[in-house]
Amino acid sequence: MKIACVGECMVEFAQEGGDLFRRGFGGDTLNTALYLARLGIDTSYITALGDDPLSAAMLAAWQAEGIGTSEVLCISGRVPGLYMIERDAKGERSFLYWRDRAPARELFDRADDAMLDRLAGFDWLYFSGISLSLYGETGRAKLRELLTAMRKRGGRVAFDGNYRPRGWSNRETAQRAFRSVLPLIDLALPTWDDEQMLFGDADASISLRRFKDAGVKEIVVKRGAQGCLVDSDGVLVDIAPPDVVLPVDTTAAGDSFNAGYIAARIKGAAPREAARAGHRLAAAVIMAPGAVIPRAAMPTQILGTEQ
């Protein structure tokens, strides 16, 4: 099984203490791609970068993690976006962005028919609400065409409804964009806080209903420390995290959960066990600063067998 993760990776400056920040590379779909690769899934990252030293360093870092980069576009004279993470005393983070001219925004404007045909041949395609915010109406239309073509070939589409208001001109535009892709989703992995912010959902069951009404067959609503609701083919279960931990940094908690869940499902686990796998990986990730934890900090078990 091969999975393509579509989106944007940025230069990350994560607060380590006081005025000290550590440089890394991160982005929601890239974080998921990295953890999928670490879990043994054949993973490629799909984005556009510049021809600068930071872009080259990103590619080298992804390749070192075993992530495929053959479909990464290079745009001459451009540089990747940048974001800064600040954390409060509870480990919750706030973000500042410098990304208006990031080359990733032009991915679907520059992708030719041959590239889109290759992408449609993947077994899985994963993207997020942040991915949607990168592309204009034309780009989002080409993405929907890609998803349609992929599913006709038997591929599956996974979607994390990450909603960041700063990425959108207004909430109504974001709502239309989200609703336009829901009928093309096989596995939805939204976070209830985001659904509440975007659609005003009073509780997670309302979020579940919106995805079900759109025809999504497998839905996992993440609720932070409360665990997640999993609805697969009409069977609803509530899965709590296996352990209660005090987070150091919640960056990439949802991204890593998604990787654990998808990896488990690809390897044949049932939705219930896949949710537990997602919780185990996310619990390890939030105990270290930044989006990407050292390999040594990866859990040795997420599915009951050593990875």
**Rounded to whole angstroms, what are the CA distances from 122 to 2, 88, 102, 112, 267?**
6, 40, 25, 17, 16
Query: Is residue 302 included in any domain, yes or no?
Result: no
The question of whether 255 is a catalytic residue gets the answer yes
Query: Is residue 304 included in any domain, yes or no?
Result: no
pLDDT tens profile 209-222: 999 999 999 999 99
Q: Which residue has the tokens 């497998």?
A: 218
Whole-structure pTM value: 0.93
Distant-in-sequence, close-in-space partners of 27: CB < 8 Å, separation ≥ 6: 7, 8, 9, 10, 130
Query: Is residue 305 included in any domain, yes or no?
Result: no
Say how far residue 48 (Cα) sits from the centre of its chain: 16
Q: Is residue 237 over pLDDT 80?
A: yes
pLDDT tens profile 114-150: 999 999 999 999 999 999 999 999 999 999 999 999 9
Amino acid identity of 252?
Answer: A
> Measured between alpha carbons, how far is 32 from 154 in angstroms, rounded to an integer?
22
CA atoms 253, 255, 259, 262: torsion sign? positive
- DSSP string spanning 144-182? HHHHHHHHHTT-EEEEE----GGGSS-HHHHHHHHHHHG
Residue 28 belongs to domain spanning: 2-297
- Contact between residue 297 and residue 275 where contact means Cβ atoms under 8 Å apart: no
DSSP 8-state code for residue 51: S
CATH number of domain containing 8: 3.40.1190.20
Q: What is the mean pLDDT of residues 241-267?
A: 90
- Contact between residue 103 and residue 77 where contact means Cβ atoms under 8 Å apart: no
Catalytic member of 28, 194, 249, 255: 255
Query: Is residue 306 included in any domain, yes or no?
Result: no
pLDDT tens profile 165-190: 999 999 999 999 999 999 999 999 99
Q: How many domains does the chain have?
A: 1
- Percent of the chain predicted with pLDDT > 90: 78
